[in-house]
Chains A and B, each alone.
Chain A
Amino acid sequence: RKEVEQDPGPFNVPEGATVAFNCTYSNSASQSFFWYRQDCRKEPKLLMSVYSSGNEDGRFTAQLNRASQYISLLIRDSKLSDSATYLCVSAREGGSYIPTFGRGTSLIVHP
């Protein structure tokens, strides 16, 4: 079983829709969590960190559920420009930092 699991999608949604992605992680020692965005054939870019209390950045909201070992990303009022692959990342903190990336969830926002 892969350490970080994501539904690959694609999620096909109209502009203005609200869409949510979940990501589960298997290592209970994971302490840091992130969502990255990756456009086709480009480098991943940090979208947001995920804090225990949940956090919001504009139209994006991230949540962490440690008991069930999953993180979520909610995108409100989807824009065409939100079309991308969203990567979930978990990591154990400490000297030997090897983050584990999910395979990504593809989002397509159409007019």
Chain B
Amino acid sequence: EAQVTQNPRYLITVTGKKLTVTCSQNMNHEYMSWYRQDPGLGLRQIYYSMNVEVTDKGDVPEGYKVSRKEKRNFPLILESPSPNQTSLYFCATRTMSSYEQYFGPGTRLTVT
């Protein structure tokens, strides 16, 4: 079954404690990206990657890092989380020949 998985699905943490949210896909898609979704603001892209070792900033990259060492994985790293990073995070993938995206189930992060 084609899918995008994220872990953890829910996380409550404290300010400053480094965390990683994993994203994995089994569709062999080249393009992967991270979004955050906040009430009243909609989905905003954080980072994206067009292939292994190729990453670039989206609209709201501050406070986040990503890496793309393997095609199937695209982890999102928060080196020093702050309360304003409390949000619902989605990973998404697509092929390079289509702009239709497939989203993971989401990770609800709360930073206290």
Contacts and interface: CB of A to CB of B under 8 A. Distances in A.
B50 A103 contact: no
A25 interface: no
B103 interface: yes
Contacts of B45: 98-99
A87 B90 contact: no
Contacts of B59: 98
A99 B99 contact: yes
A91 to B, nearest CB: 6
Given A102-B42, A103-B40, A104-B42, A97 B99 contact: yes
Interface stretch (A12-20, A41-49, A59-67, A70-78): A41-49
A46 B100 contact: yes
B75 interface: no
A69 interface: no
Contacts of A101: 35, 42-44
For chain B, the bracket of interface size reads 20 to 34
A75 to B, nearest CB: 20
B74 interface: no
B109 to A, nearest CB: 13
B101 interface: yes
B42 A87 contact: yes
Interface string B19-51: 000000000000100010000111111001010
A34 interface: yes
Interface string B92-110: 0000000111111110100
B1 to A, nearest CB: 15
B104 A43 contact: yes
A93 B99 contact: yes
Contact of B58 (A34, A43, A98): A98
B56 interface: yes
A56 B5 CA distance: 31
